[in-house]
């Protein structure tokens, strides 16, 4: 019998050769000014070679004010198009599709950079985790940012990429509008679910007006927000959007022209449930979080907590993480609820790295495809292993989240030393993203 994992997935405007997508993930590989670098191309090609059907890029800012950290390639003006064209071409050589994630961080950032110390948001309240300052967007600013997303989609199309994804998940600007826990506006963009969804629906319509009906457009959404996961008074906090809210939003998105839904969770990032880990690696976190100390109002206190009271930080995080024994497929219930309500394919993210689990999820109708980030960082060739008949990699991802806590300061790769024969081997694997080098020297 044919293996569903290797059956092509047909979207309205795109066909992907199998059901495993590389989920959005990358390191700070590019130039400070947002121009792309060879390391990002090397990074993406690793996964294309490993057999995934499509790669969904990491966060690609549509405007400088929307970036979360410097050194991520941007798509904020036409001069960026040649870089994305080169990247798409390199990925296509391995029969892999490339979907670019159009993103704006709003108030949620890691390092604000020198250009825009104050972010934009639906609200004027600082973000609750790091305390990044922001201002509530005016109607004129909303219109402007909607235009940035549409121009980003046009540029992705001109670059020959296979589609775009709206980063509508994990607490970034679109979530800041969608979320009942964050959006406190009194105008047409706040209040009811319909009003909170207006911003993203404006974006979808603006993109369709710019790129037409035949370019792939998908949306990543935090189906359940769990906004009350952290904080001293979390029991008093609102939970944010429920899956029922998100089902409604997804139906509106599809009516407005979205071709697929990518299901995630959590109203901020990182969140104890996303990327879900077996433990919070506080000691590693304390080593990299210093990079963020001067960025937000709460970052220094967080740093003292990680350094001075790691046990308290670890306990608070782990208690909020839900079932840490069942990380693989934790979002499938939400994916299923959405899939039953919309007529477009649904991709689910969260822990996927076992062929039988992925197969089961698709065969049961919980989703049409899965996306994987950390498991593919740990095993770039996981899909090829599935094709050879393995159910899992010999050294699976341990969900230790050391890659996550290193990413703000260090190059991205797998940081679980126990998975390697030696520390030197681990470091070689991390540094491999810099080969081939952009400038070979004379």
Ligand X SMILES: Cc1cc2nc3c(=O)[nH]c(=O)nc-3n(C[C@H](O)[C@H](O)[C@H](O)COP(=O)(O)O)c2cc1C
Question: Binding residues for ligand SF4, per CB under 6 A?
Answer: 374, 377-378, 397-403, 414-416, 419
Among positions 394-413, residues that touch ligand X (CB under 6 A) are: 403-404, 407, 412
Q: Are 133 and 297 within 8 A, CB to CB?
A: yes
For residue 55, what is the enclosing H or E element?
strand 54-61
**25 vs 48, which CB is nearer to ligand SF4?**
25
Residue of 258, 168, 184 whose CA lies nearest to 222: 168
Residue 25 touches which of ligand SF4, ligand X, none (Cβ within 5-8 Å per kind): ligand X
> How far is 251 from 170, CA to CA, in rounded Å?
19
Residue 46: is it exposed, middle or buried by C-beta count within 10 angstroms (0-12/13-18/19+)?
Answer: middle
Please, which residues bridge with residue 22 across strands?
A: 55, 372
Task: Please report the sign of the dihedral spanned by the C-alpha atoms of residue 394, residue 395, residue 399, residue 401.
Answer: negative
Closest contact distance (angstroms) between CB of 169 and ligand X is 6
Distances from the Cα of 332 to the Cα of 4, 181, 328, 348, 364, angstroms: 17, 23, 9, 7, 10
Of the pair 25, 137, the CB lying nearest ligand SF4 is at 25
Minimum Å distance from CB 232 to ligand X?
A: 26
Instruction: Choose, from 72, 98, 172, 399, the residue flagged as catalytic.
Output: 172
Beta carbon of residue 68, minimum distance to ligand X (angstroms, whole number): 8
Write the CA distances from 226 to 123, 210, 276, 299, 339, integer angstroms.
19, 35, 13, 22, 21
The distance of closest approach from Cβ of residue 236 to ligand SF4 in the complex, given in angstroms and rounded to an integer, is: 32
Q: What binding mask, one character per residue, do residues 78-117 give for ligand X by CB under 6 A, x or -? A: -----------------------x----------------
* Residues 155-174: x where in contact with ligand X by CB under 6 A, - otherwise, as a string: ------------x-xx----
- Whichever of 355 and 414 has its CB closer to ligand SF4, that residue is 414
172 is catalytic: yes
> Is residue 349 part of the contact set for ligand X (CB under 6 A)?
yes
Q: Is 170 exposed, middle or buried (0-12, 13-18, 19+ CB in 10 A)?
A: buried
Task: By CB under 6 A, tell whether 375 contacts ligand X.
Answer: yes
* Residues lying near ligand X in the complex (CB under 6 A): 23-25, 58-59, 101, 167, 169-170, 220, 264, 274-275, 349-352, 372-375, 403-404, 407, 412
Residues belonging to the active site: 172
């Amino acid at each position: 019998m044919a293996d569903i994992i290797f059956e092509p997935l047909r979207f309205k405007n795109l066909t992907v050769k199998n059901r495993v997508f590389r989920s959005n993930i990358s390191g700070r590989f590019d130039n400070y000014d947002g121009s792309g670098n060879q390391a990002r191309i090397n990074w993406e090609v690793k996964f294309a070679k490993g057999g995934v059907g499509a790669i969904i890029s990491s966060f690609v800012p549509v405007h400088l004010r929307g970036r979360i950290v410097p050194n991520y390639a941007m798509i904020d003006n036409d001069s960026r198009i040649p870089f994305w064209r080169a990247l798409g071409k390199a990925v296509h050589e391995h029969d892999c599709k490339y979907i670019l994630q159009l993103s704006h961080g709003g108030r949620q950032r890691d390092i604000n950079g020198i250009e825009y110390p104050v972010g934009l948001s639906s609200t004027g309240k600082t973000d609750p985790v790091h305390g990044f300052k922001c201002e509530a967007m005016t109607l004129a600013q909303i219109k402007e940012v909607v235009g940035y997303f549409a121009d980003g989609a046009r540029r992705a199309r001109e670059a020959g990429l296979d589609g775009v994804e709206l980063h509508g998940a994990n607490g970034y600007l679109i979530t800041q509008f969608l979320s009942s826990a964050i959006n406190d506006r009194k105008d047409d963009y706040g209040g009811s679910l319909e009003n909170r969804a207006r911003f993203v629906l404006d974006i979808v319509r603006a993109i369709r007006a710019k790129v037409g009906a035949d370019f792939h457009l998908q949306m990543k959404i935090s189906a359940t927000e769990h906004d009350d996961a952290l904080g001293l008074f979390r029991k008093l906090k609102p939970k944010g959007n429920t899956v029922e809210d998100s089902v409604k939003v997804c139906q509106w998105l599809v009516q407005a022209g979205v071709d697929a839904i990518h299901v995630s969770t959590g109203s901020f990032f990182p969140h104890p449930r996303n990327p879900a880990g077996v433990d919070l690696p506080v000691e590693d976190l304390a080593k990299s979080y210093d990079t963020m100390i001067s960025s937000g109002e709460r970052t220094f206190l967080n740093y003292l907590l990680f350094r001075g009271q790691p046990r308290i930080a670890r306990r608070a995080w782990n208690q909020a993480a839900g079932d840490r024994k069942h990380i693989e497929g934790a979002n499938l219930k939400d994916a299923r609820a959405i899939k039953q309500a919309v007529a477009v394919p649904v991709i689910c993210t969260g822990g996927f790295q076992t062929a039988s689990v992925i197969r089961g999820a698709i065969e049961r109708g919980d989703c049409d495809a899965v996306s994987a980030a950390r498991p593919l960082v740990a095993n770039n060739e996981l899909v090829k292993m599935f094709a050879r008949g393995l159910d899992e990699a010999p050294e699976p991802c341990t969900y230790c989240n050391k890659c996550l806590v290193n990413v703000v300061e260090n190059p991205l790769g797998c940081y679980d030393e126990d998975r390697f024969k030696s520390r030197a081997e681990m470091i070689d694997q991390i540094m491999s993203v810099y080969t081939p080098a952009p400038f070979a020297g004379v």
